[in-house]
Structure 1
Amino acid sequence: MLPEITYAPPIPMDEPPAKQETTDDSSEEEAIGSPWPIILFSTLIATGGLIFGYDIGTIGGMIDMPAFTSTFGDNTTGTQPAFYSITKGALIGISSMGGFVGGILSILLITPFGLRPTIFSAGLIYAVGNLITFTAKVWVQVMFGRALNGMANGIVCVTCPMLISELAPTNMRGGMICIQQLLTTVGIQIGSVTMYLSQMYFDNTSSLQYQVPLLEGIVWALATCALIWVVPESPYWYLTSRKLVEKSKASVARARSLGVNDPGVLRIVAIMFNNNSDEDEDAANREKRSIRKGQPKYLLRTLTGISVLCCQQLTGINYFFFFGTTIFATIGLTNPYLVPIFFGFVNLIFSVVSLFIIERFNRTTLLMSGSVLLVSFMLIFTTVSLVSVNNMNVVSGVLMVTVSCGFIGVFATTWGPLSGVVVSELYPISIKVKAMSICGSASWLVTFVMTLITPPLTELFGFGIGFVFVFFNALGFALVYYLVPETKGMPLERLDELYEQQ
């Protein structure tokens, strides 16, 4: 099969051969007929991110809904049922533990079945989780349903950016992966609006107040299950797992709007084929390419990816989205359910902005700039809230909401989309599934711990918990400065060369 797809462009005589070969590889890598197919495919893949965002947009408000607390509240010492703070943290955080399991499960599903069936399974798992919560009678059943929701989200957060990165041309890869973040913010906004309308139109004693949002989540999940089959499978998966050269060619051609036998398509698939053949021929040394022992620097690269995703979760963004309703209820807002809607709108606007800047600036520059701004906004928010907590007024409330929006806007243009972009660009195909799954699982584990302890810590320290997030944002700056390489415009096949040179 190899002679059929091998393509060697002529080398002009006035260029040094080695230098010209590198340039040609890059130019052929960028071959594309029309950008619209890959934009469409990336958007359809990113509907997996939409259900993840919808989950974020609904769970924080749902926990505080009168109908939900009266049905499942475990603290009955007062006049009305309520949740103990540790229970509230567990109900929100258990989905993160499910995400940890989902990330590991991705390793077991992607290699034998492919990325599309894996994303399909995530949609089904999410729908089942919502159905369990819908029919629950006690909060323990809700925990089980939330765990399945998290498992689906964990699979989505690994497979969706992976599939996009393996379909998109190098010069569009960052922007296409950012569509995942954009659809996640759309999901957050849809979820926030749904919670606001449900709280407004259904009586506090009606279970429909929280059941309608659950049904809507099932609809979004099933839509993802259907739409993923419109998308081509990863060409890398066809070659590495099935040795199907023709299907790999067809996948590349569809994604780039080129003919199956176009020279650009043949060149790309030939590179994939040769790299995969080299791995097979070197099977005796496969152990040396494991994450722990592999070279160049596979362990360091995996630890870097884990650190990047964990720092993203520790910026404090979940503090606002998961607990925003509770936070701003304490400062006397008449209807705190409006706050997540406003936050979601800001998140959406700046996520759209990120699509236009992601390929204009270096990844590391945006991440470090974001860390500096996130530290600044969190410091202002924490200081104002601590000073005004016993004497809250309109000015203080407006300032806190404004600074929160600034924080969310910076996150949506830097750490929000870029952490996933960077991690998807760190690994060669030989370890990509395993490494990204491990990174995703580790970040979910950290998110679970923080979500679980945030309510008790907030009760103990109040708004002073913001200083914890200040520390982690500063740590994120140092991490990017010392460990994260610049991967903008780097073809997947040259990642090893980048680490060998450093």
Structure 2
Amino acid sequence: MYMSECVVAAFRGTAVACYQLAITFGILMAYCFCIGTRTLDSSASWRIIVALGNVFALILGIGIWFLPESPRWLMMNNKHEEARRALEKIRGVRTDADRSVVEHDFEEISRNIEIEKNSASSFWKSWAECFVGHKGTPKLVYRTMLGIIIQSLQQLTGVNYFFYYGATIFQSVGIEDSFITQIILGAVNFVCTFGGLYVMENFGRRQPLIWGGLWQGAFLIIFASLGVAKPPEDNPKIGKGMIVAACLFIASFACTYGPGAWIIVGETFPMRTRARQASIATASNWTWNFLISFFSPFITSAIGYGYGYVFAGCNLFAAGFVFFFCYESAGLSLENVDEMYSVKGLRAWQSEKWVPPNKERRGDVADSAPKKGDDKYQEGMGLSPQPSTHEVPRA
């Protein structure tokens, strides 16, 4: 959420995707540390790993003090000059052209926040609004549910089925060293997330999630079918095919749903309830994470590799859900995203073609932001243009 509020629209996808890249790097490092300590016979084999986690937490805790506060948060709390300075620092102002971009962003953010402040709610009421809606905020409940479902589907792709129980799965196909399994899966996940940085920035948000769901569903069907057809323990070729299918599944996840779910959460919500909706969506992610990690051993013992069919179905459902309900937010400022959700009759599958009324194409910086009451502003908010009250000069 912090990155989505600070980074310009043109690079926001890449920046937020770096969050997922850092996660995959951390997972891979943890696997490497585990290999380094596995020969220790004492409790130090796991205590060292836990202690190393504190080192990185300390680096983050110290480093965050040197980062500017979110300009949008500052403006929401009436700290306008601090917000302007934060924008200048984030944008790296060096020329007059850079300063004009900052001024445009400042005006656009200020205009949006002014509207939201005029309809401000109490603390508890703002939480309730996430589920009951607010008259002045378009599709608030819709966006809450979108965030919850996208984050849930990230877990229901089945990726953690492989990361939590990959060692057990691949022991049955002939790989006895569980640490080797972890390194293989972790390396594929980390390396392919670099591809995710490119994919999510250059192909938008919707298309990668749609095609990713189809790709992942296909390889989960292959994985499950191979495992069900013949026991992989007795058929090395079947086992190798399952490993390839699992790696190709993870490669797709790393390029699509891994970073994509976090980008959607960072871009979808309005300023007034963004922190609350992001918290709710993230909670759904961790809830499904827990449920899958808890119930997977019982389900696997009951249906074996047929469990892959369950996740395949979830991936195919995810592809359909994104097509029908997820709006395209790539190349739009967070304020423009609100405008897009305000347009009456605009469907999710049509949203890729929507362009802010004051711009020629997505990613452009307009010469001047539309002001409240302007025709372009009214049209962008999905309202009818107001008739002019000024007389036309006579010749």
Q: 2:88 aligns with which of 253, 262, 269?
A: 253
1:200-215 matches, cutoff 5 A: 201-203=39-41, 206-215=42-51
1:432 paired residue number? 274
How many residues were matched structurally? 337
1:359-374 matches, cutoff 5 A: 359-374=201-216
Secondary structure of the residue that 2:182 maps to in structure 1?
Answer: helix
Q: 2:16 aligns with which of 171, 174, 177?
A: 177
1:4-153 matches, cutoff 5 A: none
Q: 1:300 to 1:281 in 2, by over 3 A?
A: closer
2:218 paired residue number? 376
Mapped to 1, the partners of 2:305 and 2:218 lie a distance apart of 16
1:155-234 matches, cutoff 5 A: 162-199=1-38, 201-203=39-41, 206-234=42-70
How well do the aligned residues superpose, as a CA RMSD in angstroms?
2.0
1:408 paired residue number? 250
| Superposed displacement of residue 259, structure 1 | 5.3
1:319-358 matches, cutoff 5 A: 319-358=161-200
TM-score by length of 1: 0.64
Native 8 Å contact 2:148 2:281 kept in 1: yes
Secondary structure of the residue that 2:222 maps to in structure 1?
Answer: helix
Q: 2:237 aligns with which of 387, 395, 403?
A: 395
Residue segments in structure 1 that go unaligned for 5+ positions in a row: 1-161
> Which segment is superposed worse, 266-275 or 446-455?
266-275
| Superposed displacement of residue 391, structure 1 | 4.6
1:481-500 matches, cutoff 5 A: 481-500=323-342
Native 8 Å contact 2:152 2:288 kept in 1: yes
| Superposed displacement of residue 283, structure 1 | 4.2
Secondary structure of the residue that 1:337 maps to in structure 2?
Answer: helix
| Superposed displacement of residue 314, structure 1 | 0.4
1:454 paired residue number? 296
Q: 1:497 to 1:275 in 2, by over 3 A?
A: closer
Does residue 148 of structure 2 align to residue 306 of structure 1?
A: yes
| Superposed displacement of residue 492, structure 1 | 0.7
Native 8 Å contact 1:296 1:499 kept in 2: yes
| Superposed displacement of residue 499, structure 1 | 1.6
> Which segment is superposed worse, 357-366 or 479-488?
357-366
Mapped to 1, the partners of 2:89 and 2:233 lie a distance apart of 61
Post-superposition Cα deviations, 1:11-62, rounded to whole Å, max 9, x if no partner, equal xxxxxxxxxxxxxxxxxxxxxxxxxxxxxxxxxxxxxxxxxxxxxxxxxxxx
Post-superposition Cα deviations, 1:176-218, rounded to whole Å, max 9, x if no partner, equal 111111111111110111112221x213xx1112111111111
Post-superposition Cα deviations, 1:152-197, rounded to whole Å, max 9, x if no partner, equal xxxxxxxxxx111111011100011111111111111101111122
| Superposed displacement of residue 437, structure 1 | 0.9
Mapped to 2, the partners of 1:421 and 1:365 lie a distance apart of 14
Native 8 Å contact 2:170 2:176 kept in 1: no
Secondary structure of the residue that 1:325 maps to in structure 2?
Answer: helix
Mapped to 1, the partners of 2:52 and 2:17 lie a distance apart of 25
Post-superposition Cα deviations, 1:411-445, rounded to whole Å, max 9, x if no partner, equal 00011111111121111211111111111112221
Residue segments in structure 2 that go unaligned for 5+ positions in a row: 347-395
TM-score by length of 2: 0.81
Mapped to 1, the partners of 2:149 and 2:117 lie a distance apart of 31
| Superposed displacement of residue 273, structure 1 | 2.1
Secondary structure of the residue that 1:457 maps to in structure 2?
Answer: helix
Post-superposition Cα deviations, 1:372-408, rounded to whole Å, max 9, x if no partner, equal 1001110111111222326533322222211111011
| Superposed displacement of residue 329, structure 1 | 2.0
User: Residue type of the partner of 2:35?
Assistant: Y
| Superposed displacement of residue 285, structure 1 | 11
1:479 paired residue number? 321
Mapped to 2, the partners of 1:212 and 1:483 lie a distance apart of 45
1:263 paired residue number? 100
> Which segment is superposed worse, 333-342 or 372-381?
333-342
Mapped to 1, the partners of 2:16 and 2:342 lie a distance apart of 26
Mapped to 1, the partners of 2:223 and 2:233 lie a distance apart of 15
Mapped to 1, the partners of 2:305 and 2:280 lie a distance apart of 33
Calculate percent identity across the aligned residue pairs.
Answer: 29
Return the structure number with greater helix share.
1
